[in-house]
Amino acid sequence: MKGLLLRLSALDPDAASAVRVIAHFEALLRGGALDPGMLARSTAGLAECPAGVELPDGRIVRHGPDGAALAGAPERVSGEAVPGDAGRVWLERPGGPGPFDDLVLEWMAIAARLLGGPPRSAEPPHVADPALVELVLSEREAVEDRARALRLLGLSPDRALRVVAVTVTLEAGERSGPADAGVEAVALLGRGALAGAVRVARVGRLGVVLVQPRDGGLSPAGELRTVLGERAALRESARAVRVGVGGAAEPMAAGVSWAQARSALRFAGAGGTDEALVDHDELGPVALLSRIPVEDLRAEPDVRALADLAGREGGALGLAALAAFCRTGSLRQAAAGLHLHHSSVAARLAHVEDALSWRLHEPQGRFRAQLALYALRLSADVED
């Protein structure tokens, strides 16, 4: 691990820092029974600032970066996360949050949920050399070169491979750093959710994951949706991560799965966990929409109407309700997926109907709305 981190520091300092955080907590969780004091003390040393844990019974445990216990409640909290139905974890960094505090808090919350439970056995994800990953994905390079890159990555040339593309919506004013898609891909897979060989890298502005499942090539979409749901529950302020999953392909044809992953990513939205990940295998003939030129999509009246609605006050919330309703066909299921009361979702849908003159209770109206939502997402450029 030490040698890997030294190499990553030269290739991608942000990814190296993310792996260092994940490796720290994985080692902590594998070390045996974990208690609140150990968690707070260890996190404070990692983050180089005071850290605290509030247990479900209201007890507070705090430690400083020097390992010393701190008394009482914190005077200032720079960031926090809720590990479950009760309790919380936090950092007390002077001067505002650090660049990787969100990732530290996420893993601290995971550890807090497992206090007193059995140790984990998962390993941190393998962050790969981006040049080797790009070589595997290329369809222009010689087969011999791609096969060599696969071997160097520790992947088998004889087992089906899938490619996953990850992107993240930057917060206002951010340009790089912890919001980088490669780092988010590392964080997404850091819990050992996928069985099999997993390699993570950054290619352009996208995080790329090469997966060789042990189960013969079945899609990892289900496991990834579970992880996205856990992340959303633990981090209320989490950035909008979107994921596209490509189909199974022979390793020498990994570029096909890569193209499918990027196509699926264009269909993904930021309206909730169910919208954030799209599996190309599940799209069926809908995937053909991605072949329509972006200019034609943007010129479509329904797409323009949705884009206009999205720009109004509360418009994004209305589109999230519309997407959930089109996906489930049920007001109550849509409300459950958005964690809202069904009356709130009904009010948002009524606003959408008034603005667009659609009748969503009719099958034709929902079909038209779903196509327009897909077209709106496809009309946005995805940097790669």
DSSP one-letter string for 298-362: HHSHHHHHHHHHHTSTTHHHHHHHHHHHHHHS-HHHHHHHHTS-HHHHHHHHHHHHHHHT--TTS
pLDDT at 281: 94
pLDDT at 190: 58
How far apart are alpha carbons 162 and 246 in whole angstroms? 6
Q: What is the dihedral of CA 104, 108, 109, 110, to 10 degrees?
A: 100
Q: Identify the DSSP state of 77.
A: -
pLDDT at 236: 43
Number of H helices, E strands in the chain: 17, 11
Per-residue pLDDT of the chain (384 residues; tens, 9 = 90+): 444 444 444 444 555 667 778 778 877 776 666 789 999 999 999 999 999 999 888 889 999 999 999 988 898 899 998 876 568 999 999 888 887 888 888 888 888 877 755 544 444 557 788 889 999 999 888 999 999 999 999 898 888 999 999 988 655 444 444 446 666 676 666 555 677 788 888 888 888 999 988 766 678 888 888 878 766 655 544 457 889 999 999 999 999 999 999 999 999 986 567 788 999 999 999 999 999 999 999 999 999 999 999 888 888 888 889 988 988 888 888 888 777 888 888 999 998 888 888 888 888 889 999 999 999 999 986 444
Assign residue 221 a region: left if phi > 0, alpha if psi is -120 to 50, beta otherwise?
alpha
Q: Which residues pair with 245 in a beta bridge?
A: 164, 279
pLDDT at 272: 64
User: Nearest CA to 232 among 287, 283, 274?
Assistant: 274
Q: Record the tokens describing residue 187, joined without a space.
A: 């964080």
C-beta of residue 65 within 8 angstroms of C-beta of residue 44: yes
Buried b (16+ CB within 10 A) or exposed e, 109-146: bbbbeebeeeebeeebbbbbbbebbbbbbeeeeeeeeb
How far apart are alpha carbons 194 and 46 in whole angstroms? 26
pLDDT at 44: 94
Q: 126-291: which CATH topology?
A: Alpha-Beta Plaits (3.30.70)
pLDDT at 25: 82
Q: Record the tokens describing residue 84, joined without a space.
A: 């479950």
Whole-model pTM?
0.69
pLDDT at 215: 66
